[in-house]
Amino acid sequence: MFAYDIFEAEDKSVFMPGPMTSGHHQIGLACTACHTDTLTSDEDIQKACVDCHGEDRKKPFDSHPVNKFTDPRNAAKLEKIDATKCVTCHTEHQPDMTAKNGVTQPGDFCIHCHEDIGEDRPSHKEMEFNTCNSSGCHNYHNNRSIYTDFLLKHRDEPANLAKNKLPKREFAALLDEVVDYPRQQYPIKQLTAADADAPADIELSEAGHDDWLQTAHARSGVNCTACHMVDSSEGEQKIWSNNPDHTVCEQCHGTEVERFKKGKHGMRLKVGLPAMTTEEARLPMKADNKHEQLNCISCHGAHKFDVKQAAVSACLDCHDDKHSLAYEDSPHAGLWEKELKGDAPAGTGVSCSSCHMPRISFDVSEWSSRIMVDHNQNATLSPNEKMIRPTCQHCHGLEFTIDSLADPLLVDNNFNGKPSVHIQSTDLAVSDLKRAEQERLGKQ
């Protein structure tokens, strides 16, 4: 009966066993997102974790995917630490024992499987196991930008690379390959004011109409009804809506919306809760925008869909933390201004979204990929080394980048200056390489 009440009660907060991590607090009241059944088993919880996080828990994005441990030969290791279950290291509702990234294991957990690392890597002999993760050298999951051979490959790079441009987005170029695109109903062609197909009884905003004419939408045949005619709750016939939601956008921008719903901006929509508001955020937000809801048009604006507005102003309208407030005086912002003024080539400016919503080559289907803006800004946020490959390395050398991201003061002042800390990982990789070469020479 008790369990039944949890699922049926309108206000479920009374059943919350303890505050949730920052990763999940937004969806805390969607109990069934994780507790999928009244008597949720360990397997059910694991399945719920994988349903949302599974795509990142594979090689090469994860150095310790579950399938690394399922072989029976690992039985003895799993008795020490069950690496096949997410909750072994990420227990929810336990704020007193929860560290960064929702980790609830003591920081020296690597010792369970790597206790003899000193024999393999003499440079690591005197190191404490609680420094593996905290040193900036290793992550349990994502090591794509800090693995040894990658460090060696990119050693000796200058702080600023000669190439310093973001890749171009490919949505328009690859539109022909978007199978679900409604090209029959809305053929790809330039539309004019006379083509606007809003029903006669709809009162149109002149500004909205003019804005639309300036957009890629009007240039590509996306007419009024493509966005404003939505499914009716009462019948099969579509009806006009003045305020269409994200479900309209995903008709053509499905991958972008899917990624949006995986990040902090859209995760509530994914589990059927009302859109997030800035008032409910745990990060500092501007008070005058506290009722701002997070959906596609919050950042893109209706009709205008100005990606430049979405790239900086939309962020700074809400975010009120040190890093955000320092942006406008940063060298990155200077480059962005130059690009906006036309004084620098497209792709050389650095907006908020250049780093936090990077342009990545994304598998939009099983068989094709395209360069798109990753609307899951949390995918690369923490640990911040995840940002190196999709973002920083377009312009900066690896060692400089690793040091910069590890410097909290530099993060706070939005990278206005040079790093004051140095991460040893490249030095150690080089010294291990030299040692191996010396040993080889000695054997010859």
Partner 1 sequence: MKKSTKSAIGIGAVMGMGIVATAMASDIDKPSISPKTMADALHLVMDSDRAIYTKKIVNRLVKKEKVIKASEHFEDNKALVLPAQMFRFGAELVAKRAEKLDDVNFTYSLQSLWPINKQNSPVTEVEKKGLKFVAENKGKNFYATETLGGKKYFTGVYADTAVAPVCASCHNEHKDTPKTDFKIGDVMGGVVIRIPLGS
CB of 338 to partner 1, least distance (A): 32
- Environment class of residue 351 by beta-carbon count within 10 Å: exposed (0-12), middle (13-18) or buried (19+)? buried
What's the rounded Cα separation, in Å, for the pair 164 and 140? 30
- State the residue for tokens 């029959």: 184
Asked if 438 touches partner 1 (CB under 8 A), the answer is no
Rounded distance, CA 97 to CA 132, Å?
A: 19
Nearest distance, CB of residue 149 and partner 1, angstroms: 6
Which CB, 65 or 419, lies closer to partner 1?
Answer: 65
Phi–psi pair at 230, nearest 5 degrees = -120, 165
Choice between 81 and 196, CB closer to partner 1: 81
Distance CA 359, CA 370 (A): 10
CB 283 within 8 A of CB 23: no
Q: Of residues 418-437, which lie at the interface with partner 1 (CB under 8 A)?
A: 432-433, 436-437
Structure tokens at 37: 């059944």
Task: Note whether 43 binds partner 1 by CB under 8 A.
Answer: no
Q: Is 17 exposed, middle or buried (0-12, 13-18, 19+ CB in 10 A)?
A: exposed
Q: What gap in Å lies between CA 169 and CA 315, rounded to an integer?
A: 20
- From the list 29-37, 77-85, 236-244, 326-334, the region that binds partner 1 by CB under 8 A is 77-85
Nearer residue to partner 1 within complex by CB, 72 or 342:
72
- Interface of this chain with partner 1, residues 144 to 163, rule: CB under 8 A: 147, 149-150, 153
Per-residue mark of binding to partner 1, 311-350 (x: CB under 8 A)? ----------------------------------------
Minimum CB separation of residue 433 from partner 1 in Å reads 6
Distance CA 54, CA 58 (A): 7
Q: Give the integer Cα–Cα distance in Å for 343 and 335.
A: 9
Answer yes or no: are the C-beta atoms of 188 and 176 closer than 8 Å.
no
CB of 32 to partner 1, least distance (A): 24
- From the list 74-82, 158-166, 176-184, 257-265, the region that binds partner 1 by CB under 8 A is 74-82
- Identify the bridge partners of residue 271 per DSSP, sorted by sequence position: none
For 9, phi then psi, to 5°, come to -60, 140
The reply to whether 167 sits near partner 1 by the rule CB under 8 A is: no
For partner 1, the closer CB: 58 or 168: 58
Residue count (the chain): 444
Q: Say how many residues touch partner 1, by CB under 8 A.
A: 26
Name the DSSP letter for residue 285: B
Instruction: Specify the stretch interacting with partner 1 by CB under 8 A; choose among 75-83, 187-195, 223-231, 412-420.
Output: 75-83
- Tell me how far, at minimum, the Cβ of 49 lies from partner 1, in Å: 16
Question: According to the binding rule CB under 8 A, does residue 125 interact with partner 1?
Answer: no
Among 38, 67, 214, 293, binds partner 1 (CB under 8 A): 67
Which listed residue (43, 79, 176, 366) binds partner 1 by CB under 8 A? 79
| Spatial separation of the C-alpha atoms in residues 36 and 54, rounded to whole Å | 17
- In whole angstroms, the minimum distance from the beta carbon of 72 to partner 1 comes to 4
73 binds partner 1 (CB under 8 A): yes
Q: Is the Cβ of residue 67 or residue 247 nearer to partner 1 in the bound state?
A: 67
Quote the least distance from Cβ 193 to partner 1, whole Å. Answer: 48
Beta bridge partners of 373: 359
Grouping H, G, I as helix, E, B as strand and the rest as coil, residue 175 is helix
Residues 104-123 that bind partner 1 (CB under 8 A): 113, 116, 120
Question: Which segment (15-23, 60-68, 312-320, 323-331) binds partner 1 by CB under 8 A?
Answer: 60-68
How many angstroms separate the CA atoms of 378 and 266, rounded? 11
Q: Minimum Å distance from CB 441 to partner 1?
A: 11
Contact 289, 278 (CB under 8 A): yes
CB of residue 65 to partner 1, shortest distance in Å: 8
140 binds partner 1 (CB under 8 A): no
Q: How far is the CB of 75 from partner 1 (least distance, A)?
A: 3
86 binds partner 1 (CB under 8 A): no
Amino acid in position 235: G
Cis peptide before 60 (omega within 30 of 0): yes
Cβ of residue 437: shortest distance to partner 1, in angstroms?
Answer: 8
Cis-peptide into 419, omega within 30 deg: no
Both tokens of residue 5?
A: 């009440």
- Three-state SS at 400: helix
Q: Which is nearer to partner 1, 337 or 432 (CB)?
A: 432
Binding-site ranges for partner 1 (CB under 8 A)? 60, 67-68, 70-79, 113, 116, 120, 147, 149-150, 153, 432-433, 436-437, 440, 443
